Amino acid sequence: MSALPAMPSARPRLPLALYALTAGAFGIGTTEFVIMGLLQQVAADLHVTIASAGLLISGYALGVFFGAPLLTVATARMPRKHVLLALMLVFTVGNLACALAPNYALLMAARVVTSLAHGTFFGVGAVVAAGLVVPERRASAISVMFMGLTVATLLGVPAGAWLGLQLGWRATFWAVTAIGAVASAIVFALVPDDASGQALDVRREFAAVRSAPVLLALLTTMLGFAGVFTVYTYVQPALIDVAGFSAASVSPILLLFGAGMIAGNLLGGRLADRSLRGALIGTLAVLALVELAFGLAIHSPIAAAIGVGLLGAAAFAIVAPLQASVLHAARGGESLASSLNIGAFNFGNAFGAWLGGVVIDHGGGLAALGPVAALVTFAGLGVAAFTHARERRATASTAAHTRTAPCSAH
């Protein structure tokens, strides 16, 4: 009797090139988030307020928002691997400038320059990641790339906060510069030269991203993540001034946020592969509830620590569903739409950081950030629900037209 043929694996191993994208995402994610663990040191050294230091996050986020579509179009004819490497160079040089900045204005300028690499790297990287796997694993592939962001928060942000406490905040940016150099080498070694795919058709890309489904998806991303950064931007002063932790205790607690991000990111990818719309609405609803609860938890040290971990999990469970939703909506314009969605994430970051500063400066205080954040994320959930209802009506209308078309022919 002949041997039975081997059954194919239900979940084939992901290509190694995906993890090169993860390495790049780790480097870029570290520089985006590490400033949150350094706000008090930067504010004291440069003689600015905590709210002004928080604007370093808003400036970075706005640079991503405007830089992502511009650089995506400008690099449309370049091989994707070359684009990724050029962006890693910008990132590395920008962090070097942050380490050397003598004052607040030049630090802000250096942060904006660094941010220009961010949106296009994740936008192009998401398209490359999705193209490396079979269609039914696209969301999981995207989540693997974004795992670099979660690991950056788990390791990079607490380590950066500790390094800043021990050696000053500039030492943290020197370390991030070194991370950028190492990540560049990994991308160069592992991302295939043929990862570029076809050259972008710029007119087709712009036509796709002007559609209502894409615009609604971008709005959902912006509102969903604005809620996260309304709280997370000011987590260091909230843990110290409200929960009562010492400055040295913040770094270990931020590890809980990073651990939650890793778990949430991988879970969000798996859920989105099963049901994209269900995962999107469900994760946004959970995030809003966690933000609301965080406003109460911050008054208790134990509850605050647990809340930080849950916030990380809920915040990054929405990432893969949001990015996959935009790619799904932008048929024919995936590269530009993907970069725009990274911009939408960061516009949400900027808006959230600004909104949190307004709440703090106008009497709401640090404890009020959670409920305000929940309102913003609930707005994003409302847009997602509206988009889902709109799609169902369109599908039903198309089906009805298809059923009646043969009758009209008689």
Ranges under pLDDT 50 in the chain: 1-10, 196, 408-410
Give the global pTM: 0.70
pLDDT, residue 1, reads: 39
Which helix H or strand E contains 122, and what residues bound it? helix 104-131
pLDDT, residue 69, reads: 78
Quickly count helices (H) and strands (E) in the chain: 17, 0
C-alpha angle 272-29-228 in degrees, rounded to nearest 5: 60
Rounded distance between C-alpha atoms, residue 356 and residue 368, angstroms: 9
What letters, b where the CB count within 10 A reaches 16 and e where it falls short, cover 224-250? bbbbbbbbbbbbbbbbbebbebeeeeb
Rounded distance between C-alpha atoms, residue 321 and residue 403, angstroms: 32
pLDDT, residue 56, reads: 86
- Answer yes or no: are the C-beta atoms of 271 and 282 closer than 8 Å: yes
Token pair 């059923």 is at which residue? 403
Q: How many CB atoms lie within 10 A of CB 57?
A: 27
pLDDT, residue 179, reads: 84
Rounded distance between C-alpha atoms, residue 209 and residue 331, angstroms: 9
Measured CA distances, 198 to 79, 122, 194 (Å): 9, 18, 10
* pLDDT 10s digits, 222-242: 999 899 989 988 888 888 888
Rounded distance between C-alpha atoms, residue 232 and residue 354, angstroms: 12
pLDDT, residue 291, reads: 94
Q: What residue ranges define each of the domains in the chain, with the CATH number in brackets?
A: 17-398 (1.20.1250.20)
pLDDT, residue 404, reads: 61
* pLDDT 10s digits, 93-111: 999 999 999 999 999 999 9
* pLDDT 10s digits, 377-389: 999 999 999 988 8
Structural tokens at position 329: 């909506």
pLDDT, residue 22, reads: 84
pLDDT, residue 8, reads: 43
Helices 80-100 and 104-131 meet at what angle, rounded to 10? 160
Rounded distance between C-alpha atoms, residue 344 and residue 7, angstroms: 43
* pLDDT 10s digits, 136-168: 777 778 778 878 877 776 777 778 878 888 888
The residue among 124, 115, 116, 86 whose CA lies nearest residue 200 is 124
Rounded distance between C-alpha atoms, residue 95 and residue 118, angstroms: 12
Nearest 5°: phi and psi at 393? -65, -40
pLDDT, residue 199, reads: 55
Which helix H or strand E contains 234, and what residues bound it? none
Measured CA distances, 148 to 102, 144, 340 (Å): 30, 7, 20
What letters, b where the CB count within 10 A reaches 16 and e where it falls short, cover 311-321? bbbbbbbbbbb
Rounded distance between C-alpha atoms, residue 50 and residue 40, angstroms: 7
- Answer yes or no: are the C-beta atoms of 180 and 86 closer than 8 Å: no
pLDDT, residue 4, reads: 42
